[in-house]
Amino acid sequence: MRILGVDPGSVQTGFGVIHEEQASLSYLASGVIRTSPASSIPSRLKRIYGELKIVMECYRPDVVSIENIFVARNVRSALKLGHARGVAILAAVNNGLEVVEYTPAEVKKTLAGSGRAEKSQVQHMVRALLALSELPEPYDASDALALAICHSHSREMKRMMKALAR
Amino acid sequence: MRILGVDPGSVQTGFGVIHEEQASLSYLASGVIRTSPASSIPSRLKRIYGELKIVMECYRPDVVSIENIFVARNVRSALKLGHARGVAILAAVNNGLEVVEYTPAEVKKTLAGSGRAEKSQVQHMVRALLALSELPEPYDASDALALAICHSHSREMKRMMKALAR
């Protein structure tokens, strides 16, 4: 199964694709979709949607794991973030993909053992879990990979729970 | 010229299409895209995008006038509203349409003379300006028509200013 993680933002949207086979994970791709804060909101949203569509068509993930956010600096930044997030979710659903959501705390807890872990700790865990020779950069890309890993882990946990229940 | 007004919301998204010819306005269509709060966010966003796409293909507007918001009850509702708004903007830009934005205060001031006018006052002005036999219902639809009228008025004002400057 292939999992695409997406960390949406109005200026930078991180993405990361991993392959999961029998609980073993491998890295496929990651990167950042950058939009200029000088560009209009419509053109920025078009770019985020278009680039994510290309990533989905290229790597054909089975599911999209997207950051679920309930906090923001203020209402204005929440609206901006909501724009990017809405467009990222739409790209997934318009490509017929399932969408799953994890909060930053869930991702941190899964990867680094604590919901309050630093971004750098998560980044180091992503490198270790995917056996990468270098740290995945920037944070938006490593956070997106972490979202994909978090979903894989959550599935694995559910499988184990089911097996135990039997 | 045809103007589509859109008042986005995660539960109800209002739309209204008007035709403008030599500063004379006429009503073409209006309505509300309803999504169930019980549905998942991905399916709700897909529906808003899909229905707006149909409206755009059906009425072929030249420009989309969308509500610009800077305030919300809280961060959580701002995120939800941002989702719907981002998807509405994307529908316009993916259909090659220009997007213009007006705040609720600008719309109220243009139509009812005060930025603090009640929704019912705006609704009555929409009815009068479009010579409708009945009040356009519900508020989401009349607000969307008001957004379209506001853009027409703003264009007319700019034309007059240009003419005066000559």
| pLDDT attached to residue B127 | 97
Chains A, B: CB pairs < 8 Å? 101
Q: Is the pTM of this model over 0.80?
A: yes
What strands lie across the sheet with A2-7, from one edge to the other?
Answer: A24-34, A12-21, A2-7, A63-67, A98-102
In chain B the domains, ranked by start, together with CATH numbers, are 2-165 (3.30.420.10)
CA distance A126 to B54: 43
CA distance A49 to A86: 10
User: Predicted confidence band at A160 (pLDDT cuts at 50, 70, 90)?
Assistant: confident
- Structure ipTM: 0.89
- Is the Cβ pair A43, B93 closer than 8 Å? yes
Mean pLDDT value across chain A: 94
Q: pLDDT tens digits, chain B, 166 residues: what are they? A: 999 999 999 899 999 999 999 879 999 999 999 999 999 999 999 999 999 999 999 999 999 999 998 788 888 899 999 999 999 999 999 999 999 999 999 999 999 999 999 999 999 999 999 999 999 999 999 999 999 999 999 988 888 888 888 8
**Residues of B classed as catalytic:** 7, 67, 140
CB-CB neighbors (< 8 A) of A70 in chain B: 75-76, 79
CA distance A69 to A64: 15
| pLDDT attached to residue B72 | 82
In terms of pLDDT, which residue wins out, B65 or A10?
Answer: B65
CA distance A162 to A19: 23
A76 vs B70, B80, B85: nearest CB: B70
Predicted confidence (pLDDT) at residue A165 exceeds the cutoff of 90 = no
DSSP H stretches of helix in B70-118: 75-94, 104-112
B76 vs A41, A70, A90: nearest CB: A70
Residues A135-144: pLDDT tens digits?
A: 999 999 999 9
